Amino acid sequence: MLNTADKIGADAAMKQAMEVYQRVDTAPTEPALRAKIEQDAADLFRLIGYQTSVAKYHAKNPERGAILDWVDRPLNNRWWLEDEFPRITKMGTEQEKVARLKTIANWEDPGPGGFYDDVGNVAKSPHVLRGGWLNEDPEMTKTPLPGTAHGRASRAPGGCPG
């Protein structure tokens, strides 16, 4: 949709894109599954005291297994675009707006002869050289950490050696 901005206008392209992103709120696809997650969370709290939400079940913080506090978070760039689109709307010319939308739409396309690696995503970074330990022993059950004779059951933050 953003790539159509030069044909339909920047504002129309942004409006159409946001309408798609907002379908999760206006027309959820799996309400029964969402209800099942809520019921499972309630059952876990009742049966074993598992606190799946800070607000609902008084978990200490959302990073410690409070999955209900994360279940509706977008797995895309929706929130970033919701912040970015108002900035684009304030740009001086339609050409500037369209250019920015084209940049966003083609973010991972560096053009002919180039390549884009998302270094935080192993599946989308084929040009990044990684040590053999990551490819051959990603959970580091065999790779000893520096200064140890054997691998450890607990790992350094991020699973990296040392």
Residue 15 belongs to what domain range? 2-105
* Position 82 confidence tier, pLDDT thresholds 50, 70, 90: very high
| 20 three-state secondary structure | helix
Q: Based on the fold, state whether residues 79 and 124 are members of the same structural domain.
A: no
Confidence check: pLDDT of 151 > 70: no
Instruction: Report how many domains make up the chain.
Output: 2
Q: What is the mean pLDDT of the chain?
A: 84
Better-scored residue on pLDDT, 42 or 132: 42
Residue 26 region, left (φ>0) first, then alpha (ψ -120 to 50), else beta? alpha
- Residue 110 domain-assigned? no
Give the residue among 138, 156, 136 at the shortest CA–CA distance from 146.
156
Q: What is the pLDDT of residues 7-54, one digit of tens each?
A: 999 999 999 999 999 998 899 889 999 999 999 999 999 999 999 999
Tokens of 143: 């790779």
Q: Based on the fold, state whether residues 75 and 138 are members of the same structural domain.
A: no
Q: Based on the fold, state whether residues 154 and 125 are members of the same structural domain.
A: yes
Q: Does pTM top 0.85 for this prediction?
A: no
Q: Based on the fold, state whether residues 80 and 28 are members of the same structural domain.
A: yes
CA distances, 37 to each of 54, 70, 81, 123 (Å): 16, 12, 28, 29
C-beta separation of 40 from 55 below 8 A? no
